[in-house]
């Protein structure tokens, strides 16, 4: 791939096999085509954060995720909304990454989308994720905002996104993430 190809790490806040959020990330990768190389992170093997465990060392799954974040040019999250906030598995992974050196989210371009069966489309979870990662010095794409409401009606049984308006919004978000990453990189000293 050419050197200009954006390396995006896709992180789903859901472990569910048929997750709408994971399907939205796959849609983003499809829409990006050759303009971006997507890697899909797994949060499945990350243990619950426990300082006693951390004192014994960083678990392999956490080190893998840390390296994936560090090597990525940008991060694209898709999060469900659980009880008006982000999922526990996503918050747990972020808690681990906030306690490793180097902390990988610092100065990283980040975009977020969400999918939910509710009318709000995961908006509250997105805002909580933004609050969490702003503390870790991540740099968010502000627009477009992609909140996929009534997700169960927009994806087919195979996880394909059939709603054309939503596909366009996701494509626009990936494009904005690329522009944001280039803008931030241009301002960094070499």
d(CA 137, CA 115): 25
Q: Which range of residues forms the domain containing residue 167?
A: 6-186
Tally of domains in the chain = 1
Q: What is the pLDDT of residues 49-75, one digit of tens each?
A: 999 999 999 999 999 999 999 999 999
Residue 1 lies in a domain: no
Q: What is the pLDDT of residues 93-107, one digit of tens each?
A: 999 999 999 999 999
Residue 86 lies in a domain: yes
Are the CB atoms for 133 and 103 separated by under 8 Å? Answer: no
Q: What is the pLDDT of residues 8-25, one digit of tens each?
A: 999 999 999 999 999 999
Using a cut of 0.85, tell me whether the model's pTM lies above it: yes
Residue 93 lies in a domain: yes
pLDDT band at 158 (very low <50, low <70, confident <90, very high): very high
For residue 162, the surrounding DSSP H or E stretch is none
d(CA 39, CA 57): 25
Are the CB atoms for 184 and 139 separated by under 8 Å? Answer: yes
Can you give the CATH number for the domain in which 154 is found? 3.40.50.360
């Amino acid at each position: 791939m050419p050197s200009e190809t954006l390396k995006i790490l896709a992180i789903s806040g859901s472990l569910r096999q048929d997750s709408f959020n994971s399907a939205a990330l796959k849609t983003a990768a499809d829409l990006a085509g050759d303009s971006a190389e997507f890697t899909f992170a797994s949060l499945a093997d990350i243990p619950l954060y426990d300082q006693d465990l951390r004192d014994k060392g960083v678990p392999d799954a956490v080190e893998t995720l840390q390296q994936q974040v560090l090597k990525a040019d940008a991060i694209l999250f898709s999060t469900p909304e659980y009880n008006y906030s982000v999922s526990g598995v996503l918050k747990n992974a972020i808690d681990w990454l906030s306690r490793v050196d180097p902390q990988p989210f610092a100065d990283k371009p980040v975009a977020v989308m969400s999918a939910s069966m509710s009318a709000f489309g995961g908006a509250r979870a997105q805002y909580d994720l933004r609050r969490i990662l702003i503390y870790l010095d991540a740099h968010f794409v502000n627009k477009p905002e992609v909140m996929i409401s009534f997700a169960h009606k927009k994806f087919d049984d195979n996880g394909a996104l059939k709603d054309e308006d939503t596909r366009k919004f996701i494509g626009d978000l990936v494009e904005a993430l690329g522009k944001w990453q280039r803008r931030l990189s241009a301002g960094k000293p070499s």
